[in-house]
Chains A and B, each alone.
Chain A
């Protein structure tokens, strides 16, 4: 049963993160939502790896963490650049693709 509880917690956190990504205005807040989703995915990976009795789950999570860190670093640098060029980090105000 603890397996299911872990999974549900992970799903819940994933959905909360999704909600954050969809609804927050500030881009840094959006990236925080993405971090939450990443965490949820990592958590379920570890749980499922444990259920299978293999170590690969943990290793993949290890790699995922590293990739996430890289992604956050580049993303935040992009925000800095964006802020400098357009003077805003509001997601709604970046709408060059408006049809």
Chain B
């Protein structure tokens, strides 16, 4: 029964992808393509809900590549509470986003509309496959598949050069991380001889520490690329060139947190070697701070949200690195809902205004009450205000950091919480509550777009209250919750202070010169350049990589090609001599037969 439900979760999107991808008349038809896709995800959602209610546990393995000279490669499905919850999150968000897309993408041509849903089906399938993967190799396969979907959907409007460039950038940078993942995975396999996760947990401890350290850091490098962590975070803001629902689904709720999910999955292995977890924690902290800081000065509403995603994933990584992966997973759970809600709300605005710039918005709360309300809910959740879900998950993280004697990370993360509230409410005050007249007439989005937002809004509020149930469900009950800690008050106070600052600056015009108009301010300049990380990469690319390529090209042209030419020259020369044998006269060839005859005689009488 559980196996059947499992198949009901991830097979329908595959069928939808196949049908949409192969049958052109279906793809051309708006109703059919979207209907099949949404129907399939709806089935997945129902099935994953049933799995959640059943508290399914499942292990299903079969041999994929039977082999004798090396250990056979297995393919299998693995359901534990974490996977079940993740499946549910993926299905729900995917369903909501696909319904929302009906409205958002309604101006598309029928064929590209169908293409959009085809990619979405493929993504749903690959993400679910990734979640239930049993072996590391299988994780890698689906990992690449979701990367492919991300690439395809970022570059969905491939006619626009920025979109095509952003897609390629996202593809290359995540692939740069994936190279590390692949190498690390193979290193681990080389030492333990298995890809299966449970066997890895037990066998990894037998591997020598340094070897394991190197391979695990390489695997984590893949997670860094996929989850847009420092220093590979640069692709995520550019990925906002894709359609906004795609950003909501892939670049906020599901795919980018795949790295966190991988860390959670491999946590028992990561624990084994000492400096791995601190590396993860520090990278998470740095990312959280950098993302929040850069988000302060972005004018593009989606880029603010993208940097915010980078920052929030930094939180998850940090707490996982601090030794409590389940807290990171809880934050992942709540973040998936409120961040996709924020993206959908932003998309709702973009859909009607056709601009991303927050300075070209204003006074939206009057004309788009539902969207504004939902954006407010999302912003409050993200800022960690009681009783919205972000409060619970973020404060759990902060409490853990504080009581786990990680003082400096704690200070960084608390300060980041302040920044988070500030940049979110900066957007809110500028775009939604401002009284400026920007000369546009926004209209409230249709029901097909607001309904999914309402559903996600309910989740964004409710998921925080599921905290006790959640930790009970994933079997992490022995940890005491620091109910009596004063840390929540600190962070809540700082968040409220951030909101107050944003209100003062952007609503009341306090210190307006400093924050809005004075572009020469050095901090602002640094932030707008994103700490020059993109420039650094560009410099690396232009100078170092190009130089290296030049040397490689020279080597290839003169040394490698030279060797090949030498070989061919020698062959040609030898052939000139050898062609003398081929006289073309039959009788000369007969001598070969004579030699064979003598050999046969010798074989027949002399040997046998």
A joins B in a complex = yes
CB within 8 Å of B: which residues of A? 18, 21-23, 30, 91-92, 94-99
B contact residues around A96 at 8 Å (CB):
584
How does the 8 Å CB contact mask read for B578-598 relative to A, with 1 for contact and 0 for none? Answer: 111111111100110010000
Query: A91–B585 contact, CB under 8 A?
Result: yes
Complex A-B: 23 CB contacts under 8 Å: A21-B587, A22-B587, A22-B590, A22-B591, A22-B594, A23-B587, A30-B587, A91-B585, A91-B586, A91-B587, A94-B584, A94-B586, A95-B583, A95-B584, A95-B585, A96-B584, A97-B584, A98-B582, A98-B583, A99-B578, A99-B581, A99-B583, A99-B584
- Distance between A66 CB and nearest chain B CB, rounded to angstroms: 24
Whether A99 touches B582, Cβ cut-off 8 Å, given contacts A18-B594, A22-B590, A22-B591, is yes
How does the 8 Å CB contact mask read for B38-61 relative to A, with 1 for contact and 0 for none? Answer: 000000000000000000000000
Nearest residue (CB) in B for A27 is: B586
A contact residues around B581 at 8 Å (CB):
99
Interface set, chain B 320-354, CB cutoff 8 A to A: none
Complexed CA–CA distance, A96 and B591 (Å): 18
A contact residues around B591 at 8 Å (CB):
22
B contact residues around A92 at 8 Å (CB):
585
Complexed CA–CA distance, A29 and B191 (Å): 74
Complexed CA–CA distance, A24 and B580 (Å): 22
Complexed CA–CA distance, A95 and B583 (Å): 7
Nearest residue (CB) in B for A18 is: B594
Whether A99 touches B590, Cβ cut-off 8 Å, given contacts A91-B585, A92-B585, is no
Query: B594–A97 contact, CB under 8 A?
Result: no
Interface set, chain B 541-594, CB cutoff 8 A to A: 578-587, 590-591, 594
Complexed CA–CA distance, A11 and B216 (Å): 77
- Distance between A61 CB and nearest chain B CB, rounded to angstroms: 19
- Distance between A95 CB and nearest chain B CB, rounded to angstroms: 3
A contact residues around B590 at 8 Å (CB):
21-22
Complexed CA–CA distance, A97 and B584 (Å): 4
Complexed CA–CA distance, A95 and B588 (Å): 11
- Distance between A67 CB and nearest chain B CB, rounded to angstroms: 19
B contact residues around A23 at 8 Å (CB):
587
A-B contact sample (12 more), CB < 8 A, given A21-B590, A95-B583: A21-B587, A22-B587, A22-B594, A91-B585, A94-B585, A95-B585, A97-B584, A98-B582, A99-B578, A99-B581, A99-B582, A99-B584
Interface set, chain B 511-530, CB cutoff 8 A to A: none
Complexed CA–CA distance, A46 and B581 (Å): 39
B contact residues around A21 at 8 Å (CB):
587, 590
Complexed CA–CA distance, A98 and B581 (Å): 9
- Distance between B223 CB and nearest chain A CB, rounded to angstroms: 61
- Distance between A65 CB and nearest chain B CB, rounded to angstroms: 22
Complexed CA–CA distance, A91 and B586 (Å): 7
Nearest residue (CB) in A for B579 is: A99
A contact residues around B583 at 8 Å (CB):
95, 98-99
- Distance between A50 CB and nearest chain B CB, rounded to angstroms: 19
Nearest residue (CB) in A for B578 is: A99
- Distance between B83 CB and nearest chain A CB, rounded to angstroms: 67
A contact residues around B578 at 8 Å (CB):
99
- Distance between B604 CB and nearest chain A CB, rounded to angstroms: 13
Complexed CA–CA distance, A47 and B286 (Å): 98
- Distance between B311 CB and nearest chain A CB, rounded to angstroms: 73
Complexed CA–CA distance, A95 and B586 (Å): 8
Complexed CA–CA distance, A10 and B341 (Å): 100
B contact residues around A94 at 8 Å (CB):
584-586
- Distance between B336 CB and nearest chain A CB, rounded to angstroms: 72
Complexed CA–CA distance, A59 and B581 (Å): 41
Complexed CA–CA distance, A8 and B578 (Å): 38
